[in-house]
Amino acid sequence: MQDKQAIISWKAAGIALGLLLTLATALVKPLGVSTQFVVSDAVVAHAVAEKFAEGNAYLANYGEANDWGVGYGWMLVFGMFVGGGACALVFRDKQPLADQGSLPELWVSVFGSSRLKRLTAAFAGGVLLLFGARLAGGCTSGHMISGISQLAASSFLFGVCAFGAAIITAHLLYRGRS
């Protein structure tokens, strides 16, 4: 594969992310996405079946009117889709796979060229990640960006476990191929 020049240096991106995190924490609260799904479930559960929601140890902690955070959580989720889509359109010619199709060669050599299989695997991975995020009490943005910047021990542990699991999974899936 042809070596591509970075669109933005990792140093500049890190500084920009740090400034964004500082601004978000000062103005609203630390960044995090997965909690919004729980908040939404709890708000609906409290509205539809309040006795059930109050009796559920997990949902009872969420669902208050102020949990919506004036749309903060869902605006962040929406912004991720819009921002990701906008960047994909603006920088589509600079994407590493733009000139080869949309599937990496290593994926094709191990799993075949089915786009449906690739999309299914990506979706399943996202579902597992969201489940794990809620099990861990926060998502990668909440733990690894916001939590580590606040020196939370649980976030450091989450980071080690997330990267460890990713490395092991990649070795198992690709069986040492590179």
- Two tokens, residue 169: 């999974």
The pLDDT score that the predictor gives to residue 164 is 93
The pLDDT score that the predictor gives to residue 23 is 85
Q: What is the pLDDT of residues 73-115, one digit of tens each?
A: 777 778 888 988 898 888 877 766 545 567 878 888 888 888 8
In one-letter notation, the amino acid at residue 59 is L
- Arithmetic mean of pLDDT over the chain: 78
Look up the pTM and report it: 0.58
For the chain, give every domain's residue range.
9-95, 101-178
> Rounded to whole angstroms, how far apart are CA atoms 112 and 25?
44
